Structure 1
Amino acid sequence: MDSSARSGAASAPPPADGVVGSPPDDAVAPAWLDELHGERARAWVADRNESATREYASSPAFEHLVDDIQTVLDCPDRIPAVADRAGMLYNFWTDAAHPRGLWRRTSWESYAAGAPSRADRAPEPTQWETLLDLDALNAAGARPTALACAGGAELVWGGAQVLTTGPRAGRRALVTLSPGGGDASLTVEYDLHSRSFISPDDGGLFRPLSKGSMTWGDDAGEAAIVSADFGPDTLSGAGYPRQVRRLRRGQSLDEAEVLVTAGSGAVAAFTSRDPWGRTWLTTMPSFQHTHIWLLPDDAGCPSGAAAARAALEGRARPGTVATPTGDVVPAGAIRLEVPENCLAGVGREWLTIQLRSPWEVGGSTHPAGAMLGAKLADYLAGERRLEVLFTPTASSTLLSAAWTANHLVLTVLDDVADRLEVCTPPTHGRDGASEETGTAPDEWSHHWIDLTGASDLPGCPNGDETALRPGRALLSVSATPLRPTDSDYLWISASGWTTPSTLTVARLMPSGELTGMAVVRQAPARFDARGITVTQHVATSADGTRVPYFQIGRPTSAPTPTLVHAYGAFGESLTPGYEPVTGKAWLERGGTYVVANTRGGGEYGPAWHLAGTGAGRRRVVEDLVAVLDSLVARGVAAPKTIALYGSSAGGLLAGEVLARHPERIGAAVLEVPLTDMRRYTQLSAGAAWTSEFGDPDDPEQWAWPREHSPLHLLEAGRDYPPVLLLTSAADDRVHPAHARSLAYRLDRLGQNVTYFETAAGGHSRAATHAQRAFVSALLHVFAHRHTA
């Protein structure tokens, strides 16, 4: 590789006139930094890691903090999250003795025996049955044949799907493992009885190493649905599979049925089976748009290499249909005619449509953020009788929805605090109506679930005009169905900024009311929260928009070290929740923690997100600057006491503020960040994000990302606050070249920059608790040193 210019730079637009700090490519960073395991890159990373360790991680105080954080992460009485599969409860667990983790299961009786609220007797230890020990697997001298394609890299847990139907229910699973913890992974069938992987040579179902997935493809466990790298042209420009196949036991992937193929310009294709056994085909023409089909059980699907190649080329063959966008599906597939940018969901009999933009249908116009419901069979037949299940308000948006057997449970975000609503569809005409106590509705009914007692009430700042709805509970809630096929039981968890998680199980009555709620686990406090208050405020952005933010800390009369966390992208919301590592490493040391809810996120619905995309990206920066200025105006912080933190797209945001407004912060921490917006579409999965940030290869759109590229906004002769950059060589979602290049450029400009790169962990930058504790301690020690 020619190191005199950045790889791929020739295809990117040249810097436009007037772009602040935009140097020629060879002045930004050398091309060898792109080489993940190149000799020069490894030496450069080793030197920076050693320097960072020597500067911040070589004291007894640092080692003590690492131990404290790891104790929090490894605490044996934290809540073991479980999933009900074929009558058993499954959990993946890590602790000091098992840093890479145990996959295990237990019975309902044993799990319930550990509940803290038993009136008849004291809680008993749960009896766990170990299914797979990843530490033993990684330490083994020779790996099972089925895992040979992973090479010698450390295998990181990626999840498992236990078969829940047929004669092998509870006896077989599809286990996913990732070398190094990246997005690329492999899936192997696992025998839960013999505790062994089943090699493809012995008839086991198998997905080779690549980005993609594998799920069960039928009730008997004789087939799997696979998306993977099947060879030339099968991956999109973002590196995700374009094709999905159904692999039957004993077949090779070349012999498998071709279920769906996305057009050549699409982001990805995927297929899923819902809990009721229906198969759904999906393609993504862009990150925010989907095409969806129902695949009937009797639909014929082509198979073989010739059919797969024709579909990849966008050509229809007998038994297939090619769409105008280049997607190819079986001829019997039924298109779900919904807006391409909506979120569609299904229950046993119902379809839900959550809108991202206004939709006119059946003579009515429904606003963005609304959720509509319809009988699935009727809708597929062309009927458009829709029920409005949720309508957003100025303060509320729908965060998620989940079906039990007979109810739809909505999680609603109201001024960035969660609440739950139960929507119950009409039951007239349904066979086997419930005979349990309660009244089954003849029309949709709605019930709120009151969980305000699950979190401490926030502080009420006297006379603070920035306070947002003081006195209400600020909590995060999730509701997960136990078995949506035949049960109306829910797992409900709740936590707050200073309130540890509580896990309860409850049952929904036929009327939709909640009954029998019982606490099955209560997490203990992990940090000293005495004297810490929680408040919510609003800042006013440059265009007059009110931007909320949370403040957690002990009241002080002078500016204090303040860690500000922001994200602002992809419609993701930053909501209240117990963060014991931040509590131990930052709040206990007297710092203030602030979470900013800027546009680009999803805190106020689709419009809030879209306002911060493309040409509107500047609003995200303006929102965060408004929060920083509000903290200073209120006396909470001074610019020099603020450490700004962002991860991934949040790292891009932190980098933008660093480059444009260095005078407003005292330090910046960028974790697995985007920084090179000229080349981001050519690095790892970046090609999937053009709808969010704009396409730098489109001359008309290049103006958007060029104004928000930290790497190119830096200027010689300007002073920047100290910067810490954290990334992982195993991150195949946001390429480490982003962080490496920014560190290199800051160093060349004579700035105070610290860089640390882990070898494993992927986009989460940590594969074990020990690694996570070290990186977390480094982050907080760096931030505290430069703001205290």
Structure 2
Amino acid sequence: MRTILFAALSAAVSTSALAQAEDPNLWLEDIEGQRAIAQVKQWNAATEASLTTMPGFEERRARALKLLNDPNQIATPDEVMGDLVANHWVDADHKRGLWRVSPLSAYLAGKPVWRTLIDVDALGKAEGKSWVWHGANCLPPEYQRCLVSLSPGGSDADVVREFDLAAGKFVEGGFTVPESKNSVTWADRDTLLVAMAEGEGTVTRSGYARIVKEWKRGTPWSAATKVAEASESDIGISPFAVMDGDIRRVAISRNVGFYAARVSMRAPDGHWVELPIPETAIFDAVVSGQAIARLVESLGQLKPGSVVAFDIAQMLSGQKPEPALVMEPTKSQAIEEVAATDNVLWVKALDDVSGKLFALRRQPDGSWSSKAMPLLDHSTVHIAGTADKQDIAFAAVEGMLSPTTLMSVDSTGKAATIQALPAQFDASKFSVDQRFATSKDGTRVPYFLVRRKGDSRPTGALIHAYGGFRAAQTPTYLTAQPYRSGPLGLFWVEQGGAFVLANIRGGGEYGPAWHQAALREKRQNSFDDLEAVARDLIRTGVARKDGVAISGRSNGGVLVGAAMTQHPELYSAVIAGSPLLDMKRYSHLLAGASWVDEYGDPDKPGDWAFLSNYSPYQNVRPGVRYPPTFFYLSTKDDRVHPGHARKMAARLSADGNRIYFHEYMEGGHSVGADRSEDAMRAALLWAFLTKEIGSGAD
């Protein structure tokens, strides 16, 4: 099943005299406040005035836009619907995209024949809305009716509307779920399961929906009946459905913690059964009557990180079946993605951060056979989609110097190229290496290094890292590194710099243990890992002592914020995108309460004791000179509050530190509602790095 991500509701900001005294920048948490927006516009203007006049800026902005809008793009299979493939396509003429379908046979032959269903730009213009595409959920096996999700301005909140695939238009009088942090799925053609945040009494402390209702066609929402409820202290609740061959299994996930969920499934007689699957396990898919999950903790003799199977029929009858081992990773592996077709389980694993794909089948005796798929070694592999009836997986394969190739793979190992992108730059000029740094506690930390061939003098180095939420950072083509900064990595190495992707602890590069090693009170390990990579680059002569820049986005904002406040002498420039920085107030802002399992609860003295040691905002010290910092974010981010970046910028600049600040009015947590804004950001960041740490070996 697709991972269900919850987004946040706006939280009220405390403006008491006591709070203002403790934090004089609290007014910047007023997201749309007149005073706060005026300050944002002033910072934006100053940043643009400083950087857009840099020689080479306009050239790189235009080139970034051309690269991002390159018509040679992979048309990814967002969903295979029977004999159709659906795709959301964005290009220079369609900034918000086209939702379209092609016959599967033509797509597999590499010659898709597209039929446009929704032109998102045209729809927004006609309806006077700044619509951003959030996806579609079409009801199998007919795939005639779809639930289309559209976000106004790119926030996590969206509107869900019923669409007739055959007619190619929205259903007049059909289902419409109003703007909210919605989670909606089909129970059947005339029934929806809806979790909607409707205000007081319907949301958890984290701001997510806490009630699932069953809504019948032709009845008002007020007549919808409650079928499940989470407590206020839970993270949230959401319905979903998966296909098990020809059987549609409808379920509800109650997230009792950020890393804990209890899944209930509807039995054939209509009643709901909570499945006896460990709540810390990750429910991934169903295949051959088995519920597939990844273990985060040991279960009997089964090790963390293993893929296991639970018999669905037995569970729905009230039994507690013993789990069967499907796949156990080696010490160097982590199982990162799991998907299912009618008869095959597809597993993508990382092996020292290189991707591998396996096809597994359940045998008559209940065991599982496994076959490695013949894909390019030392590459990033991503399961881009599946075709259920054909038992085909679509695998996207790429590397830092290798453009993406989309392949179809069947369970026998037969692979065919659907589409291979041409190179966007001359890769022969560059080299890519995987290296390992040693952290303070002796842990080997991998990182990927790209630079010009033959360069041996120390240069400016840009390190991008994340280090949290089990999210592995795998190498992708250099025109899309680092995340949401487009071709910044390419621009940097072309002029003689080094680009580094660091696989620090907190991510999922080596399974649950790698994540847990930087969880809560162990967070310092991720900062130490980043420091180890930086010092290794200096020690080995890759980076100048005054030429190390660091970049992080979202959770990566905590990382780079802590890094710069702990070692201001080590880092010479900092990029913080949509950053989390105020760990004292984070749990009271937007989605923050849902992350206490990752960071700890600052309202508990014991947790604040370790959070206060690194919280970037609270650790800015008067009189200390911090590296120049570029903050980029969005006013419409309803996941990480824009107040984090605003307040950090205010605190740093008040003491004379150089800050650059760029806040888009739209775009949500991803920042930037279209590629023209992404191109602008790539050029601004290039100009920032060039201005602050120079280029090449100078």
Which residue of 1 is the match for residue 410 of structure 2?
A: 507
Whole-angstrom CA distance in 1 between matches of 2:545 and 2:321: 55
- RCO (CA 8 Å, sep 6+): is it higher in 1 or 2? 2
Whole-angstrom CA distance in 2 between matches of 1:595 and 1:557: 19
Which residue of 2 is the match for residue 470 of structure 1?
A: none
Deviation at 1:101, TM superposition (A): 1.3
Q: Is the 2:291–2:309 contact (alpha carbons within 8 Å) kept by the matching residues of 1? A: yes
Q: Is the 1:68–1:584 contact (alpha carbons within 8 Å) kept by the matching residues of 2? A: no
Whole-angstrom CA distance in 2 between matches of 1:569 and 1:553: 26
Which residue of 2 is the match for residue 233 of structure 1?
A: 201
Which residue of 2 is the match for residue 127 of structure 1?
A: 113
Whole-angstrom CA distance in 2 between matches of 1:65 and 1:153: 31
Which residue of 1 is the match for residue 319 of structure 2?
A: 382
Which residue of 1 is the match for residue 151 of structure 2?
A: 178
Which residue of 2 is the match for residue 474 of structure 1?
A: 378
The residue type paired with residue 154 of structure 1 is S
Whole-angstrom CA distance in 1 between matches of 2:255 and 2:391: 32
Q: Is the 2:62–2:679 contact (alpha carbons within 8 Å) kept by the matching residues of 1? A: yes
Whole-angstrom CA distance in 2 between matches of 1:10 and 1:296: 51
Whole-angstrom CA distance in 1 between matches of 2:279 and 2:17: 30
- Higher deviation after alignment, 759-768 or 156-165: 156-165
Deviation at 1:60, TM superposition (A): 6.2
Once the two structures are superposed, the pairs formed by residues 604-615 of structure 1 within 5 Å of their partners are 604-615=510-521
Whole-angstrom CA distance in 2 between matches of 1:427 and 1:282: 30
Whole-angstrom CA distance in 1 between matches of 2:350 and 2:237: 30
Identify the match of residue 298 of structure 1 among 259, 269, 277. Answer: 269
Identify the match of residue 570 of structure 1 among 466, 469, 478. Answer: 469
Indicate whether 1:158 and 2:134 are aligned. yes
Whole-angstrom CA distance in 1 between matches of 2:62 and 2:488: 14
Indicate whether 1:416 and 2:386 are aligned. no
Q: Is the 2:15–2:26 contact (alpha carbons within 8 Å) kept by the matching residues of 1? A: no
Which residue of 2 is the match for residue 251 of structure 1?
A: 219
Whole-angstrom CA distance in 2 between matches of 1:746 and 1:11: 23
Once the two structures are superposed, the pairs formed by residues 23-42 of structure 1 within 5 Å of their partners are 26=21, 28-42=23-37
Cα shift readout 1:538-571 (whole Å, capped 9, x = no counterpart): 1111111111111111242211121100100101
Q: Is the 2:184–2:238 contact (alpha carbons within 8 Å) kept by the matching residues of 1? A: no
Whole-angstrom CA distance in 2 between matches of 1:416 and 1:506: 21
Whole-angstrom CA distance in 1 between matches of 2:622 and 2:668: 33
Which residue of 2 is the match for residue 136 of structure 1?
A: 122
The residue type paired with residue 487 of structure 1 is Q
Indicate whether 1:197 and 2:185 are aligned. no
Whole-angstrom CA distance in 2 between matches of 1:155 and 1:387: 45
Which residue of 2 is the match for residue 444 of structure 1?
A: 368
Cα shift readout 1:467-510 (whole Å, capped 9, x = no counterpart): xxxxxx421112355333x33122122111111111111322xx
Whole-angstrom CA distance in 2 between matches of 1:723 and 1:69: 22
Identify the match of residue 99 of structure 2 among 87, 92, 103. Answer: 103
Which residue of 2 is the match for residue 541 of structure 1?
A: 439
Could you say what secondary structure the match of 1:623 adopts?
Answer: helix
Whole-angstrom CA distance in 1 between matches of 2:564 and 2:129: 36
Deviation at 1:109, TM superposition (A): 4.5
Which residue of 2 is the match for residue 755 of structure 1?
A: 661
Structure 1 residue runs without a partner (length 5+)? 1-5, 13-23, 116-123, 144-151, 300-331, 429-441, 455-472
Deviation at 1:26, TM superposition (A): 3.8
Whole-angstrom CA distance in 2 between matches of 1:373 and 1:599: 28
Deviation at 1:409, TM superposition (A): 1.5
Which residue of 1 is the match for residue 401 of structure 2?
A: 498
Deviation at 1:379, TM superposition (A): 4.6
Which residue of 2 is the match for residue 719 of structure 1?
A: 625
Deviation at 1:667, TM superposition (A): 0.1
Which residue of 1 is the match for residue 272 of structure 2?
A: 333
Could you say what secondary structure the match of 2:123 adopts?
Answer: helix
Structure 2 residue runs without a partner (length 5+)? 1-11, 480-486
Q: Is the 1:480–1:491 contact (alpha carbons within 8 Å) kept by the matching residues of 2? A: yes
Could you say what secondary structure the match of 1:418 adopts?
Answer: strand
Identify the match of residue 522 of structure 1 among 420, 424, 437. Answer: 420
1:586 to 1:136, Cα distance in 2 relative to 1, 3 A: same
Would you identify which runs of 4 or more consecutive aligned residues in structure 1 move more than 4 Å? 9-12
Indicate whether 1:348 and 2:288 are aligned. yes
Could you say what secondary structure the match of 1:742 adopts?
Answer: helix
Q: Is the 1:574–1:595 contact (alpha carbons within 8 Å) kept by the matching residues of 2? A: yes
Deviation at 1:193, TM superposition (A): 4.2
1:226 to 1:164, Cα distance in 2 relative to 1, 3 A: same
1:229 to 1:593, Cα distance in 2 relative to 1, 3 A: same
Cα shift readout 1:348-381 (whole Å, capped 9, x = no counterpart): 3112231111222xxxx32211222243223554
Could you say what secondary structure the match of 1:593 adopts?
Answer: strand
Indicate whether 1:370 and 2:276 are aligned. no
Which residue of 1 is the match for residue 684 of structure 2?
A: 778
1:668 to 1:689, Cα distance in 2 relative to 1, 3 A: same
Identify the match of residue 45 of structure 1 among 40, 62, 72. Answer: 40
Could you say what secondary structure the match of 2:402 adopts?
Answer: coil
Cα shift readout 1:735-773 (whole Å, capped 9, x = no counterpart): 000000000001101100111100110001011110111
Which residue of 1 is the match for residue 429 of structure 2?
A: 531
Identify the match of residue 629 of structure 1 among 506, 528, 535. Answer: 535
- Report the number of matched residues: 669
1:216 to 1:60, Cα distance in 2 relative to 1, 3 A: farther
Deviation at 1:450, TM superposition (A): 2.6
**Root mean square deviation, CA, Å:** 2.0
Could you say what secondary structure the match of 1:366 adopts?
Answer: coil
Q: Is the 1:585–1:780 contact (alpha carbons within 8 Å) kept by the matching residues of 2? A: yes
Q: Is the 2:155–2:637 contact (alpha carbons within 8 Å) kept by the matching residues of 1? A: yes
Indicate whether 1:86 and 2:82 are aligned. yes
Deviation at 1:247, TM superposition (A): 1.4
Cα shift readout 1:293-350 (whole Å, capped 9, x = no counterpart): 1112432xxxxxxxxxxxxxxxxxxxxxxxxxxxxxxxx3212112111112322311
Once the two structures are superposed, the pairs formed by residues 630-645 of structure 1 within 5 Å of their partners are 630-645=536-551
The residue type paired with residue 475 of structure 1 is S
Q: Is the 1:164–1:170 contact (alpha carbons within 8 Å) kept by the matching residues of 2? A: yes
Deviation at 1:668, TM superposition (A): 0.1
Cα shift readout 1:382-436 (whole Å, capped 9, x = no counterpart): 25343322223321121121112112121111111111122211147xxxxxxxx
The residue type paired with residue 707 of structure 1 is N
Q: Is the 2:26–2:647 contact (alpha carbons within 8 Å) kept by the matching residues of 1? A: no
Whole-angstrom CA distance in 2 between matches of 1:269 and 1:348: 26
Whole-angstrom CA distance in 2 between matches of 1:620 and 1:268: 28
Question: Which protein is richer in strand relative to its size?
Answer: 2
Which residue of 2 is the match for residue 585 of structure 1?
A: 491
Whole-angstrom CA distance in 1 between matches of 2:325 and 2:613: 41
Q: Is the 1:528–1:588 contact (alpha carbons within 8 Å) kept by the matching residues of 2? A: no
1:231 to 1:736, Cα distance in 2 relative to 1, 3 A: closer
Could you say what secondary structure the match of 2:387 adopts?
Answer: coil
Could you say what secondary structure the match of 2:309 adopts?
Answer: strand
Whole-angstrom CA distance in 2 between matches of 1:584 and 1:38: 38
Cα shift readout 1:558-589 (whole Å, capped 9, x = no counterpart): 11121100100101100122131245422222
Identify the match of residue 249 of structure 2 among 245, 264, 278. Answer: 278
- Tell me the TM-score normalized by structure 2: 0.92
- Identity rate, percent: 34
Deviation at 1:677, TM superposition (A): 0.4
Which residue of 2 is the match for residue 146 of structure 1?
A: none
1:566 to 1:475, Cα distance in 2 relative to 1, 3 A: same
Q: Is the 1:177–1:187 contact (alpha carbons within 8 Å) kept by the matching residues of 2? A: yes
1:544 to 1:583, Cα distance in 2 relative to 1, 3 A: closer
Q: Is the 1:69–1:585 contact (alpha carbons within 8 Å) kept by the matching residues of 2? A: no
Q: Is the 1:243–1:269 contact (alpha carbons within 8 Å) kept by the matching residues of 2? A: yes
Q: Is the 2:296–2:304 contact (alpha carbons within 8 Å) kept by the matching residues of 1? A: yes
